[in-house]
Amino acid sequence: MNLSRSGRIGALCWVAAAPLFLVANLVTGLRWRDPTYSWATHNISDLGNAHCGIWDTSRPRYVCSPWHPLMNAATLTTAALLAVGILLTWRLLGRGGVVRAAQTLLLLAAGGYALAALHPADVDENLHVLGAFLIMGLGNVGLLLAGFAPGTTTLGRWRRLTLAAGIIALAATVLFFAQQGAGIGVGGMERAAVLPLPLWTCCLGVLLAETPTRTPAPAPALTRVDHGVVVPE
């Protein structure tokens, strides 16, 4: 398999998405003072909340994120990187109904990141929750579905990695929506539901980016006929 220039750009977009999102989580969380940010207790969404105060009726907690614009901007950029990566590797990953269905669901998940970033939970909870559903619901179904891509396709070559990521993400999604921390806290469970997708695209992007770039075949040398004998130019 040779990689086109656009395919390589798409792969590099995938490589960049997860580190950007993780660094934004870390940096924004470090700016919390009272209380300090806890990956076990607080949701990812808390980092993007625009106001300070008690938040969430199901798990009331004080939220105050001074650098929420950074988190929301990084999440929006993550959405763009994921979407561009999906579109530029669209044909590269293979053909067939399973591959196309998985790609469509993953593209919707990228849209979910954008929706969540543009509508913080404390500004428009309904749209924010819709974004979360696109990420953790449809996106993780798409991730698991990608694990069933035919082995003859590019996507199917990494079936074990994809199935493992999809199973972990979907199981964590169920536990998160059931508000079950299972030893890592509800906030930790949300990360187990959200992070497999960008981490998977990062791994897949690295594998794809290592593929040699497609180069055009050299033009055949011109020949001339000299007294019935073919002579190379």
Q: Is the pLDDT of residue 203 over 80?
A: yes
Q: Is the pLDDT of residue 8 over 60?
A: yes
Q: Is the pLDDT of residue 98 over 50?
A: yes
Q: Which of 126-130, 151-155, 177-181, 226-230 has the lowest mean pLDDT?
A: 226-230
pLDDT of residue 229: 56
CA 121 to each of CA 9, 45, 193: distance values in angstroms, whole numbers, following the listed order: 32, 6, 18
If pLDDT is split at 50, 70 and 90, which confidence band does 215 have?
A: very low
Q: Is the pLDDT of residue 227 over 80?
A: no
pLDDT of residue 154: 86
- Across residues 75-103, what is the average pLDDT? 94
Burial of 33 (0-12, 13-18, 19+ CB in 10 A): exposed
Secondary structure string (H, E, C) spanning 51-73: CCEEECCCCCEEECCCCHHHHHH
The DSSP annotation for 82-112 comes to HHHHHHHTTTTT--SHHHHHHHHHHHHHHHH
Q: Is the pLDDT of residue 68 over 80?
A: yes
**E strand or H helix that includes residue 232:** strand 229-232
- Across residues 125-141, what is the average pLDDT? 96
pLDDT of residue 55: 85
Q: Which of 32-46, 158-172, 192-206, 213-227 has the lowest mean pLDDT?
A: 213-227
Q: Which of 12-21, 35-44, 70-79 has the lowest mean pLDDT?
A: 35-44
Tokens 């960008």: give the residue: 198
pLDDT of residue 177: 92
Q: Is the pLDDT of residue 50 over 70?
A: yes
Q: Is the pLDDT of residue 2 over 80?
A: no
Residue pLDDT, tens place only, 143-165: 999 999 998 888 888 899 999 99
Residue pLDDT, tens place only, 113-126: 999 999 999 999 99
- Across residues 30-34, what is the average pLDDT? 91
Cβ-contact 79, 44 below 8 angstroms: no
If pLDDT is split at 50, 70 and 90, which confidence band does 26 have?
A: very high
